[in-house]
Chains A and B, each alone.
Chain A
Amino acid sequence: MAGSLLIRINVAIQRLELAIASVFTRRFPPDGFCLAGVDVQERLHQKPAFSLKDIVGDGFVWAVPTARRTIERRMKRRFGHPDYIWKMLKPKTNLRTCNVCGDDHLPGVLCPTCYKKVIEETKVMQDAIQQELQLSPVEKEVVVLYEGEKDGKPEEFFEGKRIVEIPKPRPAWFSKNLLQQTTQQPATTSDVKPSDLG
């Protein structure tokens, strides 16, 4: 009886020594000594082996958005905020002034007021021309004359040209001289009187 007791005490002490030793060697204690509810298997495989898939994954891309921009951020960027920088009314600083009428326009684009004036007159002229020509074959250049411009000229003046008359007075800004190639006769002498200059 005493012998078995001694043996039992020896075994107990050995077991205790093993348990303490396992603590120092960082191995988990045997199942019996572990806490309930803690999965030992999971802990044992905490550090998986290194693989290239960690870096590559499904294919890597650089400098690319990873998340969708929210509508708040988008609107803040585009329109700003009245208390900070408000982007609703941005003035155009690259406007040019028309030398003829004084109105402003964007660079590289015709002045709107001058253009409107010219295009309205053009439409009147085009309507008159189409009314005159209709669908007959066009064989001569067309000359557009305003009120009172045909009477003063001889018949040979418009030789070889089709005349279209418009029954309204010529606009002040539409010069007549542009219709003719040149109004000046070729010079006969090279000596010019001072009064004939300019």
Chain B
Amino acid sequence: MNQAEISKLVSQLRVRVNPRLRKLKSAGGPEARLDKLRKTVTALIKHERIELNYPRADESRMYAERLISDAIRYGDCHRETMEMADFWLIEKQLVHKLFKVLAPRFVNYSTAYTRMYTAPSVYPEVVKRAVLELRGNPYPSLVPDMHNNRNLIHNVLLDEAKKAYRTQKYEEIAAKIDAAEKSVSEEARK
């Protein structure tokens, strides 16, 4: 039958989508829950790094990823996508940012567009906190940069390869110098 491929109707999200909705303790029902999530998604797009409670971060991450993936897939001339952006982004300068800055930034990404870490909660705070950020933000990294750690295997292998190449090259140069000296001394003898 001419049945549409259902899995292709929406771009595959690269974060774990929780099948059960979190109510988020919103007094006012599902509408209040969506208001809360809307504020969070707006703040994420505006500041590109926010700290909040873990459940809300996890929930709004899904919506942010879906919004960005739709903006990349359809662009700003698509009416439904523009209406979606108008709904989710309370501050309207961010609608410009979504289509003109974030869509080009993330268009070639094969990973998720957001990153979420578990933030430390200092006693007496016991509630689980999270940091939610967009990739490609201009802020310093939250995790230490391990690219230049000499003890990691990729750097160990690269260092050894460089060493081997260097010794080989030095031998060649030494051989060339010896050959040159020999020819010079032979000429001098003649």
User: Could you tell me which A residues sit within 8 Å of B by CB distance?
Assistant: 99-100, 105-106, 108-112, 114-115, 118-119, 121-122, 125-126, 133, 135-144, 171, 173-175, 178-179, 192-194, 197-198
What 12 new A-B contacts, CB under 8 Å, besides A125-B138, A139-B100, A141-B101? A109-B118, A109-B120, A110-B142, A114-B142, A114-B144, A118-B139, A125-B139, A126-B139, A138-B94, A138-B97, A138-B100, A141-B105
Contact across chains for A198 and B100 when beta carbons are under 8 A apart: no
Chain B residues within 8 Å of A121, by CB: 139-140
B165 at the interface (CB under 8 A from A): yes
Chain A residues within 8 Å of B169, by CB: 193-194
Contact across chains for A137 and B96 when beta carbons are under 8 A apart: yes
Number of A-B contacts (CB under 8 A): 83
User: Could you tell me which B residues sit within 8 Å of A by CB distance?
Assistant: 47, 49, 51, 91, 93-94, 96-97, 100-101, 105, 117-120, 122, 131, 138-145, 159, 162, 165-166, 169-170, 173
Contact across chains for B118 and A139 when beta carbons are under 8 A apart: no
Contact across chains for A99 and B144 when beta carbons are under 8 A apart: yes
Chain A residues within 8 Å of B51, by CB: 119
Q: A126-B47, A137-B93 are in contact. Are A112 and B138 (CB under 8 A)?
A: no
List the A residue with the shortest CB-CB distance to B143: A110
- A100, A110, A135: the one contacting B131 at CB < 8 Å is A110
Contact across chains for B165 and A139 when beta carbons are under 8 A apart: no
Contact across chains for B119 and A138 when beta carbons are under 8 A apart: no
Can you list 8 A-B contacts with CB-CB less than 8 angstroms, sorted by A residue number? A110-B142, A114-B142, A115-B119, A135-B91, A137-B97, A138-B101, A174-B140, A194-B166
Q: Give the Cβ gap from A61 to chain B, nearest Cβ, in Å.
A: 31
Contact across chains for B139 and A122 when beta carbons are under 8 A apart: yes
Chain B residues within 8 Å of A111, by CB: 120
List the B residue with the shortest CB-CB distance to A126: B47
Chain B residues within 8 Å of A122, by CB: 49, 139-140
